[in-house]
Chain A
Amino acid sequence: MRIIVTLSAIFCGIASVTADDKITNTIQMEINVPNVEFYVLSQDGWSSNLQRFVWDAQRKNLKPILGLPIIMKNTLGGIKVTLKTGDKTAITSGVSEIYYRVEFLVDDYCAMYVENTNSTVECQLTSGPTNGEKSGKINLIPIKPATGWVTGDYTGVLSLIFEST
């Protein structure tokens, strides 16, 4: 059993342009309706809204997005989270990328950071069955690129898969 929670984060840029006559993107549309035994939810539905990284002009840094609230329950076992296969933890603008770290604060602290789409990273959020609901937080911490911050309109989608263990 699994649930996918997606959240989006955007920021601003420029990059190269290539020409093509026709481009088709196949979009996978999903609705995952939780049930009472197992769910992981964004509190107040923030994950269906765009989340914005804000540029800190004074510190010349990209501010993290902190404390996104999540609630979860699994009466059957623990809950682990993985990144959707093939995704990276990055926002992009053309050829420019900004990676970010995804931090989970539930039973323990656990973080994900994926630059290479072949790597598999997972976090165990809860170790065993819970009758009641648990709450936690997600932080998104942008990491300064080695070449420095490059201006641009950056866009990204974070797709998390929560599974019963």
Chain B
Amino acid sequence: MIIFRSKLLWTLFHLMMLWAGRAIADPPLEFNYPPLASDEFVINGFGVKNISGVCAISYTYGGDMPTQCKNNKEVSYNLGGIYNFGWQDNENTNYWYSNANMKTLNIVSTYGVSYPINLTLSGMGAMIRGPYCQYCQDSAFVPDLGAGSGCTRTSSGRAVYWHSVSWRQNTQSGCTSVTKNTGGNSNYFGARWQLDTLSILFRPSFIGSNPLLIPSGRYTTTLVLKEGADFYVSGGINPIYSNGSGAMSNIPIVVNVNHALNVSFPSNTVSLEPQQGWKRALLFPESVNLLQGALPFNLSASGLVSVYIGGCTYTVGTTCAVRTNNNGNEHTVPVDIALTVPNASLINANGQVGSPDFNKVLLGAGKSSEVVFTSLSVPLQNSRANLSFSVTGINAQDVVRNQGAHYSGTADITFERVIN
């Protein structure tokens, strides 16, 4: 009884070890906007890294898959499962992917905000190996891709201990691996073979989601492919999928968006003056209806930017103000503050593109009054933006009549990267 339990425990332990082995999956396929120096290459403005499967394999005779994938703007990921089969003479095994090859997934941020991306399946690849060929005499470990399409592989005369990669792009028709016709040589009977590094190739597209409109953040999604629905293996050899028939293969995908924001003010002081100049304004104060000042600055931003008035020393209602104490006579007037950013568009509360012209947009006090803008085409780089300040109407006239007065006040203008 004790021995039986002990054996059972040992068996369980063994299973757990197998599970741990399966859990060491390839790291998520990662896309970065803007691209990082550590990325493997760039697809549609996004840097990509952690490619696994055939796009990460370079063979002397089979071709440089990393370069081919880079040129085709596609990536591959190792599906993880292994197809096992016993030796049969001169038989083939085929693998292919579904012709329903467009997958639309939502990448989702930590806060649940999502954006669609398209993944177009474009190829499959695999490696055939004979790890248990105990009678094989020739151990030439030749990754023989040979000439031709790169898809059909037939074992050559001496390459019984076979280690070959096949792959196909731009077609759903199956790839074929054909075992060597040994003429019934019993030396090869009982050999075990594997189809592994089975990987899917696909082209990611972010066309449906302009990266400049995706807020900074870390987004994740999973591409789920099912054996028997999205990819298939069959043929004369009748292999068995190690993950089980109809098993799911999960491809974890991470999209990191990290927009830049930089604001540079050459001065932090703005002086408001009458449109017609002080001299004329002092002579005819009733003609004054606008005191204005401009503060140009440089703005660099590659994504959504939120801007609002963080605070002011004086306020009138929810508007910043300037105040004077001219010989004991206090006077406070509100100052409207507006922002102009050339080549930027206002983004409304639903995240939709609003006015195509971000011109003199009035700023509100507090984060709840934020306005959001971005450039829709190229990132703003040291773009010349402008803050305009104005005192209008009767307030402007009252200021002009207050000769010798010095009005002052501060406004905190806050720019924030929009993060999801």
* Contact yes or no, B404 A34, CB < 8 A: yes
Q: How far is the CA of A23 from the CA of B261 in the complex (A)?
A: 8
B261 with A34: CB separation less than 8 A: no
Q: Name the segment of A99-107, A137-145, A148-156 touching the other chain.
A: A148-156
Contacting pair B277 A25 (CB below 8 A): no
Least CB distance from B274 to A in Å reads 6
Within 8 A of A (CB), among B342-398: 379, 381-384, 386-387, 389, 391
Q: Which residue of B lies closest to A31 (CB)?
A: B407
Q: Whose C-beta in chain A lies nearest to the C-beta of B276?
A: A45
Instruction: Judge whether B265 and A25 touch: CB under 8 Å.
Output: yes
B117 within 8 A of A: no
Interface string of B248-272 (1 = CB under 8 A from A): 0000000000111111111111111
CA distance A87 to B264 in the complex (A): 14
Q: Which of A23, A41, A44, A49: most chain B CB closer than 10 A?
A: A23
A45 to B414, CA, bound (A): 30
**Most B C-beta atoms less than 10 A away, residue of A25, A33, A50, A87:** A33
CB-nearest residue of chain A to B267: A157
> DSSP majority for the A interface?
strand
Task: Say yes or no: B263 contacts A45, CB within 8 Å.
Answer: no
Stretch at the interface among A74-82, A90-98, A118-126: A90-98
User: Are A41 and B277 interface neighbours, CB within 8 A?
Assistant: yes
Contact flag A34-B282 (CB < 8 Å), given A6-B267, A27-B268, A153-B382: yes
Task: Give the nearest-CB partner of B419 in chain A.
Answer: A21
Cα distance A6–B406 in the bound complex, in angstroms: 15
Report the minimum CB–CB distance from A164 to chain B (whole Å). Answer: 12
**Contact between B404 and A94, CB atoms less than 8 A apart:** no
Quick check: is B79 within 8 A (CB to CB) of the other chain?
Answer: no
Given A93-B382, A152-B382, does the pair A31, B271 have CB atoms closer than 8 Å? yes
User: With contacts A21-B417, A87-B267 known, is A29 near B294, CB below 8 A?
Assistant: no
Across-interface contacts of A91 in B (CB, < 8 A): 266
| B410 partner residues in chain A, CB cutoff 8 A | 26-29
Write the chain A residue with the least CB distance to B259: A19
A34 contacts across to B, CB distance below 8 A: 278, 282, 403-404
Task: Select from chain B the residue with minimum beta-carbon distance to A48.
Answer: B273
Q: Contact: A17 with B381, CB < 8 Å?
A: yes
Asked if residues A22 and B322 are in contact (CB atoms below 8 Å), the reply is no
* B75 located at the interface, meaning its Cβ lies under 8 Å from any Cβ of chain A in the complex: no
Q: Are B269 and A50 in contact (CB under 8 A)?
A: no
Expressed in whole angstroms, the Cα–Cα distance for A64 and B298 within the complex equals 22
Are A27 and B387 touching (Cβ within 8 A)? yes
From 44 to 62 in chain A, residues with beta carbon under 8 angstroms from any chain B beta carbon are 44-50
- Kindly list chain B residues whose C-beta atoms are within 8 Å of the C-beta of A10: 296, 384
**Are B411 and A29 neighbours in the complex by a CB distance under 8 Å?**
yes
Contact of A23 among B263, B387, B400 (CB under 8 A): B263
Known: A17-B262, A34-B403, A157-B296. A22 touches B417 (CB 8 A): yes
Is the CB–CB distance between A48 and B279 below 8 Å?
no
**A92→B264 contact, CB < 8 A:** yes
A26 & B298 in contact (Cβ 8 Å cutoff): no
Closest beta carbon of chain B to A132's beta carbon, Å: 14
Contacts of A12 in B (CB 8 A): 384
| Proximity bits, A1-37, B CB within 8 Å = 1, else 0 | 0001110101011110111111111111111111110
Interface: A165 (CB within 8 A): no
* Residue pair B268, A28 in contact (C-beta under 8 Å): yes
B214 within 8 A of A: no
The chain A residues found within 8 Å of chain B, CB to CB, are 4-6, 8, 10, 12-15, 17-36, 39, 41-50, 71, 84, 87, 90-94, 152-153, 155-157, 159
Those 3 A-B pairs whose CB atoms lie nearest each other, nearest first: A45-B277, A157-B267, A35-B404
A-B contact pairs, 7 of them (CB 8 A): A22-B416, A26-B268, A27-B269, A28-B410, A32-B271, A155-B266, A157-B266
